Structure 1
């Protein structure tokens, strides 16, 4: 199939090999069932025609409406001609039976099965044997093709499933944010309009704006913390900045949801304590997930007493325990201090379970095992040994199903080998065919370099056993080839089911990753876009409140700007829940100058950038917003410079301010710098943020 992923393509190869091996049995039997090379050749051609018609349903690009229309009648004609005119075993009608089952024609399939029973079996066989062979062949054909189709469907559905998962997450985020932040922004806009004529209401607008800003920051933190991986990365960066060698071992799946938020809190507190103590040289951060429980372990070598290490972790411990989780902190036998927390993962934000294909595979394998067991029991004379034979075949079938379905203990292949060959001395030719299941076990459970020689050895052992029992050459060849075919059937059913399972898991993982990215994107937009807008609104409202008595005209002007900002913030909210914001660097530079001037910061702007495309302008505008927000929140700046320009093929933006306290202790970096680094990297750019040690802070972004 064009564009099919490797797993889906390999599924078609597995089906082709198994079906070709089925047909090979009839090809090799043709010389012994016909008189003369001409008739043998004609029988072989008919068998190949049956196989070719079957491949029309196996190879997707052959599966046109016209081909499907003629393939089934042609296959039936070739199969029945071979049986009636050239003595081909009626078991080949199983291909026709399988095609009819795939076409949904069950009544016609029942008629084919009945005709196989009526055709009988030459060479000492029984009608029951031929009927079972036909039925098993049909079921295997049906099952293999259906499983291969399922592999194609799963591979093709991965992108739509991923898009759907992202869309669900986007709608969920939009509903949550609009209920709180959307209402708040509408209240700010309406309140600011009323306050234009009633300055006393500015205080109410201030309160709403302050609550909205807190909600935006909390929502951004919650969205970010529900995915533990970004928190682990931030913790690692903080440790390395403090000269602590960090080792990270991630063993959980994202996204986590509320469990991630809880464990992120524990991680932040634990790592903050490590940095605050300042005595650690190494720190291990490990996550795990088992049986629906997500675990976090933070181990460092800088704490000397358990009491000192647990100091400051009480609140995090209470939150974990309140959620039904487990928390512990103490010194280990190696003298290192360990913080451990475990929380139930709960319902996954992305869960796409699908066990249909695997159940179909195991059901078909059970039917094949039952069919072969019945065929073997038909050859065992009724008597005292018959119950023993039935019990032995039941044990082999059960072990084979357990091997395929739940696990593969190393002792099972030797047990199956003994059960496959030892009873031959008692039951004779009735037991020779059992070795096929052993071949399937080797193919399913061992690498090719080990499986192929063992399968060849099994086939040789079957041939030797058949010859020892006095069977003729044709029967010996039939048993040897049947061993391979049975092994390939077992391998094909289990292998295809695992392919579907793996493809499904890959699709689920892709959807999870996309959901995490969507959640982080929303968190970045809330922090970078809406956070700036709300901070600017809060500043303008505060300024208007102070000016209301002294300069009413100026106060109304500031409130008018608040109305515009609130509308812009609502656009930012829509962007945070649905896509990129429509920002422009020039407009953001003008807004930044207005906001900083209102805050009492002297601003110098030197804009020398060329005409920018929309994406570059939006990214640099976002960087400028975050830089201005940092000036307002994290500094006591009196002067700031905003400059842009072009250097070769790169466009740059520099924002400097003098509000950094060189004596202030080093603190953990906020989310803003990380968000901006991610945005710029996606646009092919870089970000640097550094202090000069004299109270000035410089942020530079370059794209190109």
Structure 2
């Protein structure tokens, strides 16, 4: 009966079994069960008149049972309700055969019908239909034989157990299929989240680092003709920045990179000074939790990178307020008002996603006399200072 239940689960999109499982869940179990159930009725074919009617009824019953279960695996057949129609045909043949051949042991067809109902009919309706099948079989046998004991134990209980056992296997198969689909969805979601994390980290790391390399390279080009020593120092900085970028990329790949707000503020001062932009840093308040500190370090990194690359500013102010709720980090400049592409680019989009995950928010405002990037993180992420 476990094989019978499998016919209904294949239409839900689960992978088709292979090898011996395909054999076990194919039409052979249905054929075997039909043959086993029809042995007793066919044994009385010689006693019935006419015998061809007995064989015809058995053929229609067995054929409708096997076809109903096998067609339940075909989406096109399910859409046309062919399996349900075949179960209805089996029910008609079962009632007609037990009424037309009372001397034969045709009441076993009710067990076959209960299995078909459990395997094919809608899950919510199947238990009630199984109970109706068992009651109908018991009532028919009681009417024919006059024995309620035989009707109850010979047909009613047997049909009920056959149907409910098949229904239980079907429900178990449905649950297993749902779990398999859920596992696949969770795996796909985990891969997508990891790709998004890596894309954000790679943009934030390389966007900032390459901007500093470009600024330093321009300084080398300007200073090389007249100040070789200064040009060499900037070239050494390029080498150090490149080595640091390699380390950060390796850490981003393994997912263990932790940014530091203090480090990013120092890096921002150096990058802005190299670009010829005056940098003013204002900090207040106690120390932050590692999570909040890391979030604000990403904000400072992205904001300063945009100032160097897009603003054309002469002055940049970085404000970090740890003593307010929510904690505030703001990068403003007196440049041309910011590049619209930068205000909606992947870097700021990644920052918004990071902050939103922590309950914070990001504002990017282009002004006539500059550009302001402000990030707010809930005060729950702040640790008390010493």
| TM-score for both structures, normalised by structure 2 | 0.81
Query: Is there any run of 5+ residues in structure 2 with no aligned partner, and where?
Result: 7-12, 379-386
Alignment of 1:683-698 (within 5 A): 683-692=358-367, 694-698=368-372
DSSP 3-state at the match of 2:276: coil
DSSP 3-state at the match of 1:605: strand
1:538 offset after TM fit, Å? 2.1
1:690 offset after TM fit, Å? 1.6
- Structure 1 equivalent of residue 95 of structure 2: 421
Is this contact kept in 1: 2:68–2:116, CA < 8 A?
A: no
The verdict on how the C-alpha distance between 1:441 and 1:379 changes in structure 2, with shifts beyond 3 A counting, is closer
1:404 offset after TM fit, Å? 5.8
1:652 offset after TM fit, Å? 1.8
Question: Which of 145, 153, 163 in structure 2 is aligned with 1:487?
Answer: 163
1:569 offset after TM fit, Å? 0.6
Give the Cα–Cα distance (whole angstroms) in 1 for the partners of residues 112 and 215 of structure 2. Answer: 77
Is this contact kept in 2: 1:588–1:621, CA < 8 A?
A: yes
1:515 offset after TM fit, Å? 0.5
Alignment of 1:194-209 (within 5 A): none
1:616 offset after TM fit, Å? 2.1
- Structure 2 equivalent of residue 538 of structure 1: 214
Residue 644 (1) aligns with residue 317 (2):
no
1:533 offset after TM fit, Å? 1.0
1:501 offset after TM fit, Å? 1.0
Residue 376 (1) aligns with residue 45 (2):
no
- Structure 2 equivalent of residue 675 of structure 1: 350
Is this contact kept in 2: 1:688–1:701, CA < 8 A?
A: yes
- Structure 1 equivalent of residue 201 of structure 2: 525
Give the Cα–Cα distance (whole angstroms) in 1 for the partners of residues 230 and 346 of structure 2. Answer: 35
Is this contact kept in 1: 2:40–2:106, CA < 8 A?
A: no
Is this contact kept in 1: 2:34–2:65, CA < 8 A?
A: no
Q: Report which stretch shifted further, 614-623 or 415-424.
A: 415-424
Larger of the two Rg values belongs to structure: 2
- Structure 2 equivalent of residue 461 of structure 1: 136
Give the Cα–Cα distance (whole angstroms) in 2 for the partners of residues 403 and 430 of structure 1. Answer: 28
DSSP 3-state at the match of 2:282: strand
DSSP 3-state at the match of 1:550: coil
Is this contact kept in 1: 2:60–2:90, CA < 8 A?
A: no
| TM-score for both structures, normalised by structure 1 | 0.46
The verdict on how the C-alpha distance between 1:616 and 1:476 changes in structure 2, with shifts beyond 3 A counting, is same
Is this contact kept in 1: 2:330–2:375, CA < 8 A?
A: yes
- Structure 2 equivalent of residue 575 of structure 1: 251
Is this contact kept in 1: 2:65–2:116, CA < 8 A?
A: no
DSSP 3-state at the match of 2:335: coil
**1:442-476: per-residue Cα shift (whole Å, max 9, x none)?**
4453353x444433322221112212332633321
Alignment of 1:361-510 (within 5 A): 363=25, 367=29, 370-380=32-42, 381-383=44-46, 384-385=51-52, 387-388=55-56, 389-403=58-72, 406=75, 408=78, 409-410=80-81, 411-412=84-85, 413-428=87-102, 429-443=104-118, 445-446=121-122, 448=124, 450-470=125-145, 472-478=147-153, 479-510=155-186
The verdict on how the C-alpha distance between 1:438 and 1:696 changes in structure 2, with shifts beyond 3 A counting, is farther
Equivalenced residues, count = 356
Query: Is there any run of 5+ residues in structure 1 with no aligned partner, and where?
Result: 1-135, 148-290, 292-351
Is this contact kept in 2: 1:637–1:660, CA < 8 A?
A: yes
Question: Which of 304, 319, 323 in structure 2 is aligned with 1:628?
Answer: 304
Give the Cα–Cα distance (whole angstroms) in 1 for the partners of residues 190 and 361 of structure 2. Answer: 23
